[in-house]
A and B are shown apart, each in its own frame.
Chain A
């Protein structure tokens, strides 16, 4: 079973629109970490955020914000006023404390921001 599900395969938005990328995870551990990574066309993986399972506060970093809800096992990522430079593939990932720090990645959401 997929531990991290990113149901949106591809999304296109027009520049300056807001966009939310969905991430649903599955775990039986009480201690775990959630992540978002960005992979621009150049191919490298860029760390965006880490959240532990005990911290449900939403976080905002500039135009980026994250909504963590344990009740729905979701960790969604919103980009406000999108820009062309936001075009990339975004991955959500889960790390469980009890499995030797294995990471499980979703299949990614490809975001295209149209100028």
Chain B
């Protein structure tokens, strides 16, 4: 039981490049979330999903897209990366209101 895993752990992108962050959970959870963490800002919700095939916008969705084609995976895409998207990204899934977080992805956009 791996819990929540995130791929990759680190990434450096140049402005304008695209990439996809993968979140996978093996706990059969319905709800999954993507957050970004910036210094002094706490965690802010980007997008979330309440089940396979459904997604919704969170607090800071601009510049990101998501997909939940399989229940266990939640993908976060950056189509054209900007320096403002330099952050640590956390994925989470929940069961009975307890969130399980992945280890995070540190993304730098130069």
Contact = CB atoms under 8 A, between A and B. Distances in A.
Interface of A: 4, 6, 9, 33, 35, 43-45, 47, 50, 52, 91, 93, 95, 100-108
B41 A43 contact: no
Contact of A45 (B44, B45, B90): B90
Interface residues of B, number: 25
Contacts, number: 50
Interface of B: 31, 33, 35, 40-45, 48, 50, 56, 58-59, 88, 90, 92, 94, 97-101, 103-104
A57 B96 CA distance: 20
At the interface, is chain B mostly helix, strand, loop or mixed?
strand
A101 B94 contact: yes
A100 B44 CA distance: 15
B97 A91 contact: no
30 contacts: A4-B42, A6-B42, A35-B99, A43-B88, A43-B104, A44-B101, A44-B104, A45-B90, A45-B92, A50-B97, A50-B98, A52-B97, A91-B42, A91-B43, A93-B43, A100-B56, A101-B31, A101-B50, A101-B97, A102-B58, A103-B33, A103-B43, A104-B45, A104-B59, A105-B35, A105-B42, A106-B42, A107-B41, A107-B42, A108-B42
